[in-house]
Amino acid sequence: MAADEIKMDVDEATAVAVGGVEEISTETLAQYYQRLFPFSLYYQWLNYRSNEPTQAFTHREFSFTINDGIYLRYQSFKDGDALQREVHKLAPSKIDIGAVFTAQPRTAKSLQPGAFKPVSKELVFDVDMTDYDEIRTCCQGGNICKLCWRFMVVAMHVVDRALREDFGFTQLMWVYSGRRGVHCWVSDERARRLDDAGRRAVAGYLGLVRGGADQSRKVNLSQRQSKHPHIIRSAEIIEEYFESILLVDQEILLTRERWTKVLAALPDEDLRKTLDAKWSSKPDISSVDKWSEMIDLVDKRAIRAKSKFGLANFERDMMLQLTYPRLDENVTTHLNHLLKSPFCIHPKTGRVCTPIAHDKFDSFDPFQVPTLGQLLRELNDHAPDATSLAEYTATFSEFVAALPAPPQDAKSSQSLEF
C-alpha cells in the first residue's frame, strides 16, 4: 500500500476520533446507558446465569469514572437492577470491572484489616498497539490504521489458540478496547479461581518476547523450547501472516534505519556488514527480497558453522520477535487489577468497547465500530435493537448463552462460600 494511502487511514481515524470525542457528554452518555447498554446480558454474565444474585455479583467491585476524572472505587450492588439505576444516575465516562471479594466492596472501609480480600476474577489479557511501536512503521502512539491493526489479529489468533488448546479454557470473550488494542476475558470457573501465582504462571507461559527497546534479540529459543507445541503452533500462525504484515505492509527493511534494527539481531558480524553493504548499494530492493536474501545467507552460514552462533533458528525466532503477541503482564497477573468494561465508550475516540466474535478475528474492522454520536443519531430513525450496535450485542448474547448454567439456582446472595 502506498504511503499516501497509509496516511489517509491514519487521518481518517484521527478525524473520526475527534468527532466522537466532541459528542461525549454526561447527557449523551446518559442516553446511551438508558437506551443501548445491554444491562440484562451484562448481569447474566457477571452473575453467571443464576436467576438470583450470587456473591459472584454482589461481592464484585465496580469502579466508575465521572465528571472528567472523579474516580469511584469499590462500588457494589445487590443485583443487576441496582447497578442499572446507579449507572443511569451517574452516567460514568468509564466503568471498570474488578475482583470478587470476601465481602461487599462498598462495606470495605468498615471491615477489620485483612478481612477484605479478592478471591476471584476472570483471567484477563490486554494487548496494546503502543507495545509494537518499535516495529510498526505506519503509526505511532495512540494512532492506528488498518495496516498495524493486523498485529492485533495475530495476537488474538495466537493467544486464543493457546488458552483453548493448552489450558482447556472454553469461555473466552475478546473485546475491542475502543481505541488501539484488545482485551480477552476468560470466564471459566477454573480461570476465575486462579490466585496471583497461577495468573503469573499463565502470563509467563504466554510471554515470549523479552527485553526493552535497546535489546536487539528478544527471542532466542533453546532446542527444547523449540519443540514445545505452543511454539510450533504460534510459529505456524505467524508464518501465515508474516510476509504480508511485516514485509509488505510495514516494509521493515525498506530503509537503512529500518533494516539496521533487524540486522542488529544477527549473531554474526560478518553477515551484518555484508548485508548492510549490499542493501546500501541497492536500497530500492523490496523488503520481501531483502528478507529472502538475508535468510538465504543465514541458512548457508548456519550449515557451515553447524548451527553455531544461534543462526539455525534465526528466521523463526525473528518472525516470532516481530509478530508474536506483546501482552501487558501486569493486567493478567494481579487478581485485584481493574479492567475497562465491555460496552464502555472510549473517551479518546467515542467508540464503543465491543465484543469481537471468535470467528471474525480477521474481518473485524475497528473503524466500523460505532461511536456514541453515531448511535444516538441512529436512534432517531431506528429502534435500539436495529442500530449498528446490534451485531455486537448479539455476539455478547451468544457468549453469555454459552456460559454453563449453574448446577442449581442460587437462592440467595449467600449461596457461594469463600
Catalytic residues: 61, 126, 128
Question: How many Å apart are CA 273 and CA 284, to the nearest integer?
Answer: 18
User: Rounded to the nearest 10 degrees, how much is the dihedral formed by the CA atoms of 143, 148, 154, 156?
Assistant: 20
Measured over the CA atoms of residue 25, residue 30, residue 35 and residue 36, the dihedral's sign is positive
Q: CA distances (Å), 126 to each of 174, 183, 253, 337, in order?
A: 10, 5, 29, 12
Q: At what angle do helices 314-323 and 229-242 cross, to 10 degrees?
A: 80
From CA 319, how far away is CA 265, in angstroms rounded? 12
Query: DSSP code of 346?
Result: P
Residue 75: phi, psi to the nearest 5? Answer: -90, 140
Q: How far apart are CA 9 and CA 144, in angstroms?
A: 8
Q: If we measure between CA atoms, which residue out of 312, 323, 326 comes closest to residue 226? A: 312
Helix, strand or coil for residue 113? coil
User: Cell numbers 470476601 correspond to what residue?
Assistant: 102
The identity of residue 369, as a single letter, is V
Give the type of residue at 106.
R
